[in-house]
Structure formats: structure tokens, C-alpha cells
Amino acid sequence: MTFDFLRRLVGSNPNAPQVLQLFTPNVVGPDRPGTRLVLAGVTAVGLVVAGAVALSSLLALLGALFGIYLLLTQVLGLELDVDPAAFVAEAQKYAAQARN
């Protein structure tokens, strides 16, 4: 019973879905379950590391944008007033100019 999960994982049962097929290349045949398991683990770890790098890059970008915002508003004293009505008025003005 304890090895039932491993049998399903490495695909010894032909009727069971191939879990490791997603993470292993086609070069590794079904007769080498240990190699398939190692390659699947390395692939999963690689995906996790790539996701962590992407997430940390996104957080660094957001931090840099927040730092620029703080420099503009707190240090330089600029006031950023975002008014949606002004955007709509400008868009309508440009649309009217484009029709003429």
C-alpha cells in the first residue's frame, strides 16, 4: 500500500495517468523510473527557482517605482493630482481634433 503512490508516479500501471510525463523529456524511457524521478525533480526545482526570480524581480521593480514616487512627492515636493475627468476631457479633445 505504501508503494502504490510511487507506482502511480513512475507509471508502472499502464492504465494510470503519467504524472512524470509532464516534467521529463522523451529521451528518458519508461524503463528507467529512477532517472525519470530525478529529472522530474530537477525540472520542478528549476520552475520554482525561475518563479522566485521572477517574483523578486517584480517586487524590486515595484519598490523602485515606489522609491521614485517618494522622491518626487516628499523630497522634491511635487504634487501629483490624478483627476480622471481631466483624462477624459483630453481624450475627447484629441478625438475631436482627429475627426476634423
Judge whether 12 and 3 are in contact, CB under 8 Å: no
pLDDT at 15: 61
Q: What's the pTM value of the predicted model, to 2 decimals?
A: 0.58
Judge whether 23 and 40 are in contact, CB under 8 Å: yes
Q: Rounded to whole angstroms, how far apart are CA atoms 6 and 11?
A: 8
- H-helix segments, 22-83: 33-70
Query: Tens of pLDDT along the chain (100 residues)?
Result: 556 666 666 655 566 555 566 677 767 777 777 887 888 889 889 999 999 999 999 999 999 999 999 999 999 999 878 888 988 999 999 999 988 7
Q: Rounded to whole angstroms, how far apart are CA atoms 21 and 4?
A: 18
Q: Rounded to whole angstroms, how far apart are CA atoms 74 and 68?
A: 10
